Each structure stands twice: as C-alpha cells, then as structure tokens.
Amino acid sequence: MANPVKITETVLRDSHQSLIATRMTTEEMLPIVEMLDKVGYNALEAWGGATFDSCLRFLNEDPWERLRKIKDIAKNTKLQMLFRGQNILGYRHYADDVVEYFVQKSIANGIDIIRIFDALNDVRNLKTAINATKKEKGHVQATLCYTISPVHNTEYFTGLAKELEGMGADSICIKDMSGLLLPYAAEELVKSLKANVKVPIELHTHYTSGVGSMTYLKAIEAGVDIVDCAISPMALGTSQPATEPLVASLQGTDRDTGLDLNLLSDIADYFKPLREKYLSSGLMDTKVLGVDINTLKYQVPGGMLSNLVSQLKAQGKEDKLEEVLKEVPKVREDLGFPPLVTPSSQIVGTQAVLNVLMGERYKMITKEVKGIVRGEYGSTPVKISDEIKTKIIGDEKQITCRPADNIAPELDTIKEKCNQYIEQDEDVLSYALFEQVAEKYFEQRRAAKYKVDGSLADMDNKVYPV
C-alpha cells in the first residue's frame, strides 16, 4: 500500500535562520507564498524560532503582521512554528499566563502546528504550551531534542516519545539540530518510535555534517512519516536537506511524495537570485555551505564551534581550541548531559573555555552554569553529582519543582508597562519577550506613521481625520 512521505518546507523559517542569520524579509517571502501553497506540503514552517526576534531587532518589521500576511495567501497549507516551551521565543522562563496568551495569539493569527521543545527534554517545561495549544485547537507537535551521550539512546528517546504522546502530542518530532543523527542510528530510532507510538513521526535535521539525505532515506525506509526539507537554493550546508532531490529519489516507489518537480523547480527559480544577492552582500557565507566534519568528530553543533573559535580569538588563545574541544564533553557530563542546543550549547561552551583558559576547572563559574546546577532550567537528563553540586553552588538549595512554578503571573504587569505603545493586543507579547528591542521597534513604527501623514511641522496646516 502506498504510504507517501510528507514534506515540511522550511524555507520561510529554519532555512534562512541557518544560512543567513534569519534575515529574509516579509517582502522577499510574499511573492512566492502562493506557489508554495500549491505544492501540497505537509506544512510550511514559517514562524517562530529566531524569526520573531529578527523581525523586531534587525528588519524593523512586526512579526505578527508577517504571519497574517503569509496566512492570507497560504490558504491551503498548514503553517507551522517553532516554540521553545516555557521560554516561548525568548531566552528565559516565562510565567504560564504569558505562555498561554502567546499560544492563543499565534493560533488566532494563523498558526496551525506548534512544534514545542525544551533544551533539556524536561517535559514539565512543555506542559503549559501543550495544554494551551490543545485548548486553542492547534496541532501539538512535541519534540525530542536529539543528542548523543551515554544516556541518550533509543530506549531513552522511545520512553520520552511515549510520555509526550500521553501528554497529548498529535505528532512527535525528532529534532536533530546539529546533524548528529547518522543514517543507521536514524533507522533504529524511527523503527522503535513507529513500534511504540501511534502518532506521526517527523524528522528534522541539518545538513551541517553532510549526512542529512542519507539519514532521511534510512528513516524513510524505517517508516518515518514526515521530513523537513528546504527548496534547493536555500538548502544544504547548515540548512536542511534539499526538497527536490528527495522528491526525485522517491518517485515511483511506495513512498513517492507525489509532489510536482516542475512546480518545485519554478519555486527554486524564485530563490536562485535571492541566494546570489545574499552571497554577494556577504549575508550568506560560503563557509556555512560545505560539510563541517568537526560536527561529527566532536559531536557539537556547527554554531557552537564557531562561537568557541571566536571566544578564543578574542583572548588571543586560538591555539587552545583542541583543549577546549576535549573539555566540552567533560563539562557536559558534569552538568548531567544536557543536549547542546540554545541555550545549553552556549552555557557548556563558555564554561569549557573558562576551565581551559583559567588553568583550573571551575575556578571561575558563569551564572548560567550555577543556574543549571540549581535546577533553574529544569531537571537535567542525568542527576548532577553531589561533588559537582558542592563545587558549583556550595550548600545552596536546588530547585526540584517545575521552574515556572516559581514565577507569578506577569501578563498584567507587562501590559501596564507597555501601555503607551499598544496598537494591537499582540504588541504586549512582543514587549514581554524582547522588551527593549520591541520598545525601539514601537517608536520607529510611530515615527513612520507621522512620516506618512505629513511631518509634525505640517500638522497645524492640515485637518486630520480623527
């Protein structure tokens, strides 16, 4: 029986987040959305992740407006977003009322599927977002952050997937943010998930280490339901495997996607000149387009490696890279084997650099490392040893509850603080997540309005409608 592989297209979110620091503008997206909508994708990943921050911070755009504009054109295809559990799209834990309101507004403005993850795979940090999505009748895609460690094996991930299904997940995503999932490991994992959970399984990888399309093929043979791809001019390198070669490879098989290669090729034609533009402006660096074998060698994300190099460069200590790369897995073990994804990748990396440069381990300790040990981010995959605990936080108490249980409702206070800027309900959420950045955006938005209506100086001479 035919069992077509479904494809989620990432060109409007992860692909440009990974290749050009999330700088694709709404104006560059809109002309192609109608054609993307005709393909028959499982979904268009179009929002969330870093796009929200980037709209406000770099593009002087309202992220909510972007979502509504895409939704207006994409009438047939589901829109998907990436959501960092209790961190929403920001970098700290928010109170439940903010998480709930954000989910409500995301769905009201056009999101159908919310992919929810937590950097530590602590399911308690997913609970509020999952329940809120269910309440708003959205599709909950709960996520396994894939990583390699003595505890992160097929049994662990299968148990986690079953737990997420029990919490109400409508589908499960294996999120391989650094391209560590090798083809035969993917086959084993997908087989186990298919045998143990009923909801669809989606696989997300990055091409960073060069194994992405082999991994997809083995996962597809093992029965994976959906894979994430990017249209070819915006694929490969640190982005996703390309859409068209996968569609071609499966043609005529029982997993034929049924997607039209001619239509995909027209879509690729739209993005080719944009790619050239990003390359010539320097926004796209040829360095991120090749195969980064260090990812496999050291099992760290590509982005983390370049961060380590620049941290060492700033100190004139580039020769210490090898030593730091050996220290990274040790710090990771000390901290209970967190998957290396934002923010844990930065936290582990910075501490490893300090441990090497200070010539003594944990002579200097960052406040984020203390936070992890205190339990402020949630529970780590493996319990942190008493020895490390004492070394890092002395006899301070660890938090064992869900971190957000210690955060009082904050939506009303935030509303009061930003009242003067509010032009739409959603502005409160932009402000809640990125206070100063949103404030600057709101001020620019206000200034632009005056420009359109005529300068302030002219106002005396004109009659304005109220």
- For residue 170, the minimal CB distance to Co ion (Å) is 20
| Nearest residue to Co ion, scored by beta-carbon proximity | 14
Nearest to 52 by CA among 66, 40, 72, 73: 66
- For residue 204, the minimal CB distance to Co ion (Å) is 6
Q: Which stretch binds Co ion (CB under 5 A): 8-16, 36-44, 145-153, 325-333?
A: 8-16
In our burial notation (b when 16+ CB lie closer than 10 A, e otherwise), range 264-274 reads beebbebbeeb
Helices (H), 197-242: 212-221
Residue closer to Co ion by CB (options 14, 112) is 14
Residue closer to Co ion by CB (options 89, 411) is 89
Beta bridge partners of 201: 172
In our burial notation (b when 16+ CB lie closer than 10 A, e otherwise), range 3-30 reads ebbbbbbbbbbbbbbbbbbbbbebebbe
Q: What is the per-residue DSSP string for 127-189?
A: HHHHHHHHHTT-EEEEEEE---SSS-SHHHHHHHHHHHHHTT-SEEEEEETTS---HHHHHHH
Q: Which stretch binds Co ion (CB under 5 A): 7-15, 186-194, 293-301, 330-338?
A: 7-15
Q: Which stretch binds Co ion (CB under 5 A): 11-19, 381-389, 421-429, 442-450?
A: 11-19
Which residues, numbered 182-241, are part of the site for Co ion (CB under 5 A)?
none
Separation of alpha carbons 185 and 187, rounded Å: 5
**8 A C-beta contact, residue 110 and residue 68:** yes
Which residues, numbered 279-318, are part of the site for Co ion (CB under 5 A)?
none
CA diameter of the chain: 75
- For residue 115, the minimal CB distance to Co ion (Å) is 10
- For residue 71, the minimal CB distance to Co ion (Å) is 22
Residue closer to Co ion by CB (options 49, 378) is 49
- For residue 284, the minimal CB distance to Co ion (Å) is 17
Q: Which x/- pattern over 102-141 shows residues binding Co ion (rule: CB under 5 A)?
A: ----------------------------------------
Separation of alpha carbons 203 and 7, rounded Å: 10
Residue closer to Co ion by CB (options 14, 426) is 14
- For residue 17, the minimal CB distance to Co ion (Å) is 7
Separation of alpha carbons 257 and 226, rounded Å: 10
Residue closer to Co ion by CB (options 18, 351) is 18
- For residue 373, the minimal CB distance to Co ion (Å) is 28
**8 A C-beta contact, residue 301 and residue 349:** no
Q: Which x/- pattern over 13-32 shows residues binding Co ion (rule: CB under 5 A)?
A: -x------------------
- For residue 227, the minimal CB distance to Co ion (Å) is 12
Q: H or E stretch including 278?
A: helix 261-281
- Which sign, positive or negative, has the C-alpha torsion 404, 114, 339, 160? positive
Residue closer to Co ion by CB (options 300, 369) is 300
Nearest to 11 by CA among 367, 3, 39: 39
Residue closer to Co ion by CB (options 173, 411) is 173
Residue closer to Co ion by CB (options 303, 336) is 303
- For residue 383, the minimal CB distance to Co ion (Å) is 29
Only one residue has tokens 């054609």, namely 35
- For residue 407, the minimal CB distance to Co ion (Å) is 27
Q: Which stretch binds Co ion (CB under 5 A): 6-14, 108-116, 149-157, 293-301?
A: 6-14
Residue closer to Co ion by CB (options 14, 225) is 14
Q: 137 φ, ψ to 5°? A: 65, 30
Residue closer to Co ion by CB (options 50, 328) is 50
- Residues that bind Co ion (rule: CB under 5 A) add up to a total of 1
Which residues, numbered 333-362, are part of the site for Co ion (CB under 5 A)?
none
Q: Which residues bind Co ion (CB under 5 A)?
A: 14
